[in-house]
Amino acid sequence: MTLAWTSKKLHLLLKHRTPRLLGLFHVSKLSISMNHAWRRHLTCPGITHIDPVLTMSTRLNPPFRAEHIGSLLRPAKLVAKRFEFETGACSAEELKAVEDESIPAIVKLQREAGMKTITDGEMRRAAFYQGMFEKLGGMEIVPNCSLTTFKSYIPYVGIFHAMGLTEYSSIYCNGKIKRTEGVHTDDFKYLKSLVSSEVEHIKVTICGPTWMHLRHGSDHTYDKSVYTNDAQYFADLIQAYREEIKELYSLGCRNVQFDDPTFCFFCSDSMITGMEQAGVDHEALLRMYIDVFNDITKSRPADLTMGVHMCRGNFKGMHYTAGGYARISETLFKRMDVDCFYLEFDDDRSGDLMPLRYLPPNKTAVLGLITTKRGTLESIANLRVRVEEAAEIISQGDPKRPKSDAMNQLCLSPQCGFASVFEGNPISEEEERKKLELVVEAAKQIWQSFP
C-alpha cells in the first residue's frame, strides 16, 4: 500500500466522516507507514485532519479550527426595518425583502474574514431562540405572558423582575406538538443558493429544546389536558426536532448547532439556590435535559456534525449570569451525545479551564476566548497561552492523552454571537470584521506552529 494511495483513499473515506466515524479507523488496522503526525491524527477520534500536505490548522469538516457562533450584526437598514415590523409599521414581506438583500453581504463578510463556517447571521430572526417553538403546531405565542408563570430563579427572569416588568412575550404549548412545516429549511435553501460549493460549510443554529421548559417548568409549559407530564411533552418535541433536522440534512445541511444557554444557567449559584428553595431537583432536571438532547441526536448520520453552544447570556453586550462549568462539566461532557461544545471563556464569569479535563477523546471543545461584547482585540499571544493551557488540562483527563491529541480536540471562536438579538452588541461592523479575522489568524498561528 503506497502512501499516495492511502492518502487518496483516506481522503475519500473521510470526506464524509465525523469524529465518531474516525474512531473506527486505527493505524494498526491500516498497516501503513506514517509519520508521527499522521499517527496522532488517526489515533485520536476527535481529529479531522489527516492529509499530510495540509497544515495542522486545517480541518476538513466542522467544527473548523476557526469558528463563529452564528449571529452577526444586522446592517442598519435591517435593524430599522425589523423595528418597523415589530411595531406593525411594515409587512412580513417588506421585512423579508430587506433580509434577502442583507444575507449575501453577510456571506461575503464571512468569506473575506477567512471563515469556513457560513451562517446567514440569523438575519431573519429578532432573537436567537426564534424558530422551533413558534412554528410548531400546538404552540401558541403569548405576547403578554404573566411573569408569574416564569421561574423566578432563572437569571434573566430575576432581571425582568428588577426592571419592574410584570409580563413578557412567551410561547405556550396548548395542543399536541406537531411539525407541520419546515422551521429553518427555507432559510437554509436561500443560504444554499448563495454559497454553491460551500454547502457543507453552512451551519444552522437552532434554539435548544429546553428553552421553554426551564422558563416555565412542568406547571406552565404545556396544557395538562394535552400532556400530563414532561416525558410526554418532550417525546413530541423531540420528534419535531428530529424531523426538522432530517429535512435539513436532506437539503444538504451537515452542521447543526443548538443554542442553549440553559446549561450555563445551571452553573449559577443563585439559580441553584433558587431551585432548591423551590423544591426543584436540579441534578435530575439537568440529566433530563441532556437525555432530551440525546434523543434528538441519537442515530444521526455519520457525516452530520452536531454541537451545542452554551453561554451566560448575550443581550446587547450584557450577560445574565456567571459561574464556571465545574458544576456541570463531568455530567455534561461525558453524558451529552454531541460532537462538539461551543463554550465561552472570554472572562472570569466563565471560571477557569479546569472543567475541560472531563472532555472525552471523541468530542471537541470550541473555545470561545474572544469576546463579542467589546471591540477590543485580544492578543494572539494570550490566546495561544490559553489554548495550550486548555490542551494541557485535557491531556491530563481520563484517559490521559498526549497534549498534541488534546490540541486536536480544540478549536477557537468568539464566545457568543455578535447579535443574539437583532439590535446587536455594542461593537461596530468594522470591529466585528476584525474579530472574525482575529479568530482565523490566531487559529492559523496557534495550530500551525504547534509541534
Residues linked to residue 172 through DSSP beta bridges, in sequence order: 140
The distance of closest approach from Cβ of residue 417 to Zn ion in the complex, given in angstroms and rounded to an integer, is 6
Hey, what's the cell of 132? 422551533
Q: Which helix (H) or strand (E) holds 403?
A: helix 403-407
The distance of closest approach from Cβ of residue 309 to Zn ion in the complex, given in angstroms and rounded to an integer, is 6
Hey, what's the cell of 285? 432536571
Task: Determine, following the binding rule CB under 5 A, whether residue 308 of this chain makes contact with Zn ion.
Answer: no
Cβ distance to Zn ion smaller for residue 22 or 416: 416
Hey, what's the cell of 164? 419592574
- From the number of C-beta atoms within 10 Å of its C-beta (0-12, 13-18, 19+), residue 191 rates as buried
Task: Determine, following the binding rule CB under 5 A, whether residue 267 of this chain makes contact with Zn ion.
Answer: no
- Choosing from 177, 285, 304, 311, the residue that interacts with Zn ion (CB under 5 A) is 311
| 3-state DSSP assignment of residue 235 | helix
Under 8 Å between Cβ of 32 and 6: yes
CB under 5 A: which stretch of 22-30, 156-164, 195-203, 308-316 binds Zn ion? 308-316
The distance of closest approach from Cβ of residue 214 to Zn ion in the complex, given in angstroms and rounded to an integer, is 15
- Choosing from 6, 255, 314, 364, the residue that interacts with Zn ion (CB under 5 A) is 314
Number of Cβ atoms within 10 Å of the Cβ of 344? 29
CB under 5 A: which stretch of 102-110, 312-320, 353-361, 425-433 binds Zn ion? 312-320
Cβ distance to Zn ion smaller for residue 68 or 184: 68
Cβ distance to Zn ion smaller for residue 332 or 416: 416
| 3-state DSSP assignment of residue 212 | helix
The distance of closest approach from Cβ of residue 333 to Zn ion in the complex, given in angstroms and rounded to an integer, is 18
Cβ distance to Zn ion smaller for residue 145 or 332: 332
Cβ distance to Zn ion smaller for residue 227 or 320: 320
CB under 5 A: which stretch of 85-93, 249-257, 410-418, 425-433 binds Zn ion? 410-418
Cβ distance to Zn ion smaller for residue 311 or 390: 311
Encoded amino acid at 304, one letter: L
CB under 5 A: which stretch of 214-222, 315-323, 387-395, 408-416 binds Zn ion? 408-416
Q: Which helix (H) or strand (E) holds 232?
A: helix 230-251
Helix axes 380-395, 429-449, angle to 10 degrees: 50
Closest listed residue to residue 331, CA positions, set 365, 285, 388, 298: 285
CB under 5 A: which stretch of 81-89, 152-160, 206-214, 310-318 binds Zn ion? 310-318
Cβ distance to Zn ion smaller for residue 155 or 361: 155
Residue where the block lists cell 423579508: 96
Q: Site residues for Zn ion, window 103-142 (CB under 5 A)?
A: none
Cβ distance to Zn ion smaller for residue 391 or 416: 416
The distance of closest approach from Cβ of residue 416 to Zn ion in the complex, given in angstroms and rounded to an integer, is 3
Cβ distance to Zn ion smaller for residue 128 or 447: 128
Residues 6+ apart with CB under 8 A from 415: 69, 311, 344, 345, 346, 350, 368, 369, 370, 371, 372, 373
**Site residue total, Zn ion (CB under 5 A):** 3
CB under 5 A: which stretch of 9-17, 272-280, 304-312, 429-437 binds Zn ion? 304-312
Cβ distance to Zn ion smaller for residue 113 or 366: 366
The distance of closest approach from Cβ of residue 154 to Zn ion in the complex, given in angstroms and rounded to an integer, is 16
Number of Cβ atoms within 10 Å of the Cβ of 198? 16
The distance of closest approach from Cβ of residue 350 to Zn ion in the complex, given in angstroms and rounded to an integer, is 11
The distance of closest approach from Cβ of residue 311 to Zn ion in the complex, given in angstroms and rounded to an integer, is 3
The distance of closest approach from Cβ of residue 262 to Zn ion in the complex, given in angstroms and rounded to an integer, is 11
Closest listed residue to residue 176, CA positions, set 240, 118, 115, 219: 240
Q: Site residues for Zn ion, window 160-219 (CB under 5 A)?
A: none
- Find the angle CA(40)-CA(17)-CA(59) to the nearest 5 degrees: 55
The distance of closest approach from Cβ of residue 372 to Zn ion in the complex, given in angstroms and rounded to an integer, is 9
Quote the radius of gyration of the chain (alpha carbons, Å): 22
Tell me the torsion sign for CA atoms 32, 51, 56, 26: negative
Task: Determine, following the binding rule CB under 5 A, whether residue 416 of this chain makes contact with Zn ion.
Answer: yes
Cβ distance to Zn ion smaller for residue 311 or 436: 311
- Residue spans of alpha helices (H) in 44-197: 76-86, 92-113, 132-135, 155-162, 185-195
Residues linked to residue 202 through DSSP beta bridges, in sequence order: 118
The distance of closest approach from Cβ of residue 79 to Zn ion in the complex, given in angstroms and rounded to an integer, is 20
CB under 5 A: which stretch of 99-107, 205-213, 350-358, 412-420 binds Zn ion? 412-420
Cβ distance to Zn ion smaller for residue 317 or 402: 317
Closest listed residue to residue 378, CA positions, set 424, 437, 426: 437
Under 8 Å between Cβ of 69 and 417: yes
- Give the residues lining the site for Zn ion (CB under 5 A): 311, 314, 416
